[in-house]
Amino acid sequence: MPSLRRLLLSTLTAAAIVVPAGPLAVAAQDETVDGAEHRSVALEPVATATSAESADVLRGTVALDPREVSVVGLRWSGDADSGARMRLHDGQAWGEWTPLEKGVATGPDMQGSGEWGTEAAVVLEADRVQVELSQEAQQATVETWTSKVTAADVAQVESMPTTDASNEGVIIGRRADWAGDMELIPSSGPVLSRPKLGVTIHHTATSAYYEPQDVPAMLRSIYNYHARTLDWRDIGYNALVDRYGRAWEGRSGGLENNVQGAHSYGMNADWFGLSSLGNHEISPVPQAELGALAVTTAWALDQHGADVNGTVTYTNEYLDWTRRLPVLHGHRDVYATSCPGWRLYQLFGTLRSQVAAQQQQDRSAVQRIGGADRYAVAAGLAKEAAVHGARTAYLTQGAEIADALGVGPVASRTGSAVLLTRTQGVPGPTLDALEDLGTEEVVVVGGETAVSPGVERSLRQQGYAVRRVAGANRYDTAVQLSREQRWTGGTVYLASGSNLADALGGGAAAAHTDAPMLLTHPGHLTTVTAARLAEMQPARVVVLGGTGAVENSVVRQAEELLPWASVERIGGTNRYTTSALVAQDAFPEASSAVVASGSAPVDAVAGTQLAADREAPLLLTRKTCRTSAVDEAYSSLGIGLSRLAGGTGVLGWDAGARRC
């Protein structure tokens, strides 16, 4: 007979509603943070111990809602190894006592100075949890974080393919995909310039029989426990995989970077922390999960130039040991713990063989910033780029992108957002993004025909400071945008004001090289643009696109106007090739790229802000594949991660990984 919780999840999937929270007595309810319930209960000494050693213990009991996803852990001061264990009540009887992992250090760098916590244990379908510690521990509390499974969680999991060998790319869910409306702390360990040495495999000591829809809520609860209870500022692992074969981004800072994690004492700067969502001390490892571990590990090792069959002599200065470690190893190899569980650990030979086979394929990872329409996509791109918020947002018309071409380089100089609006009113996703980003000033781009005065009035009534940047036409608007910043790169990008496709990759290149983008008539250099070029006196002018976009007469006029400057055309036989050539000209190397559809230019314009933030090029692809020129750009620049800008209607998951 299916459990009450699974029946509720089935109803949730069908009706797309949030699981209702019924009345339930709880031991304590300290606070609610971003929709998650946090309880902290002090452990009390008990005279008659239940421990096998018959020693006095500290014990605490907390009531849980069996319909929701909870993480349970302990925090205390004193000895790290305090014999922590727990048992669950399923509504009828108590289960067996289960040991919790040895204490891990608390604090931002796992430097708790005598403050310890257990690893997070995810609990499902239990109405109470009871924990014990040895009485030598002081200031001991049981900590629980409980999250609801939402309709958005159901939709997210259904829309995200598994990461298995049949996919061209290594699909990894973003932090925003599991966080939902939760406000993540926008900080983690530093991003280091040196590569990772290898991968440390963990498990989360989680019930192995969770539903796919549970996973985002599980990750939110683990995040809260790591970031807030253990004071790690973020989730500790760099990435996680679930039993259904999906991979998920963990710690912030970019999967493609060496982000210092918080997953293994004394190892966090040099080793990629990858965790399985499961308790593999007692539960077998599903093939889908093992496959996801292999694919994700292979991709991570490829990014850092490590071979799964290699070894590294490593010194752990905090634990005072030097060992010869396999590039892929378990947490138990470097710390006194059973993690990642013996059932997973005994499969490491198989796992290494699978990783080695995957490394031969050199696959790209793929993430998606999508939405129901162009306005939602732009809002998602803005929030992905501006994790610390954006005081200023540039607002441009979503139906006609000519005015928006020059916005990306301007906005990137000050970390401003780029959002889209309708002519007569601001769409809901844009308004939500303005609020979420903490925006104070909105800069409307374009004339009143493009964005009506009513939009300005509405935004002012909502408390925003509003101003407009506009010219007599699109060419003049581009000039006025260029006056928003002081440019020091010595380069100007020049694009057609009517044939816009070849210009789409230029915004990210201009942002990277600290250059503005100006527009010209295809057949002649417009007067207002020529005047601005003469005023700026650039050392280099990059003309975007072939002669079908910008004729040779424009190049000659620019050369006559600026005889000291290098006037160069970068263009290919089509928009895809042009975007690849522009990227290779502006970027000596890049670990990631923002990918937009060559047939959805508005997503490319909005994607410039994310590309600028990640110091990445913006490349155009077909709906389901990368052209040979774009594929060559991936190879020459060393791109390993594609961030798709747009929904599945314009870009398939393979667009960032498969060659046409």
User: Do both 398 and 290 map to the same domain?
Assistant: no
pLDDT 10s digits, 97-116: 988 877 788 887 666 578 88
| HEC per residue, 57-113 | EEEEEEECCCCCEEEEEEEEECCCCCCCEEEEECCCCECCCEECCCCEECCCCCCCC
User: Do both 199 and 242 map to the same domain?
Assistant: yes
Q: What is the mean pLDDT of the chain?
A: 90
* Residue-level pLDDT at 27: 41
User: Do both 230 and 88 map to the same domain?
Assistant: no
Strand 271-276, strand 239-241: pairing? parallel
User: Do both 274 and 180 map to the same domain?
Assistant: yes
pLDDT 10s digits, 547-591: 999 999 999 999 999 999 999 999 999 999 999 999 999 999 999
Give the domain range for residue 66: 4-147
**Which long-range contacts link 51-55 to residues 24+ away (Cβ below 8 Å)?**
51/83, 51/85, 51/132, 55/134, 55/135
pLDDT 10s digits, 232-282: 989 999 999 999 999 999 999 999 999 999 999 899 999 999 999 999 998
Residues 6+ apart with CB under 8 A from 286: 243, 244, 245
**CATH code for the domain in which residue 59 is found:** 2.60.120
User: Do both 602 and 537 map to the same domain?
Assistant: yes
User: Do both 33 and 91 map to the same domain?
Assistant: yes
User: Do both 528 and 581 map to the same domain?
Assistant: yes
Q: In the chain, what percentage of residues exceed pLDDT 70?
A: 92
CB 455 within 8 A of CB 470: no
| Overall domain count for the chain | 3
User: Do both 351 and 383 map to the same domain?
Assistant: no
User: Do both 410 and 349 map to the same domain?
Assistant: no
CA dihedral of 20, 23, 24, 27, whole degrees rounded to 10: 110
CA distance 172 to 160: 9
Give the domain-ending residue among 97, 130, 147.
147
User: Do both 120 and 161 map to the same domain?
Assistant: no
User: Do both 431 and 294 map to the same domain?
Assistant: no
pLDDT 10s digits, 330-374: 999 999 889 999 999 999 999 999 999 999 998 999 999 999 999
Give the domain-ending residue among 79, 114, 147.
147
- Residue of 333, 297, 51, 324 lying closest to 196 (CA atoms): 297
Give the domain-ending residue among 122, 147, 172.
147
Low-confidence spans in the chain with pLDDT less than 70: 1-29, 47-55, 109-112, 165-167, 186-189
**CATH code for the domain in which residue 257 is found:** 3.40.80.10
User: Do both 128 and 251 map to the same domain?
Assistant: no
Token pair of 287 as six digits = 């093939």
Rounded to 5 degrees, φ, ψ at 214 are -70, -25
Token pair of 352 as six digits = 């290494």
- Residue of 60, 11, 72, 17 lying closest to 221 (CA atoms): 72
Element (H, E) at 357: helix 348-359
Output the pTM of the full model.
0.92
Task: Reduce the DSSP state of residue 641 to 3 states and report it.
Answer: strand
CA distance 53 to 50: 8
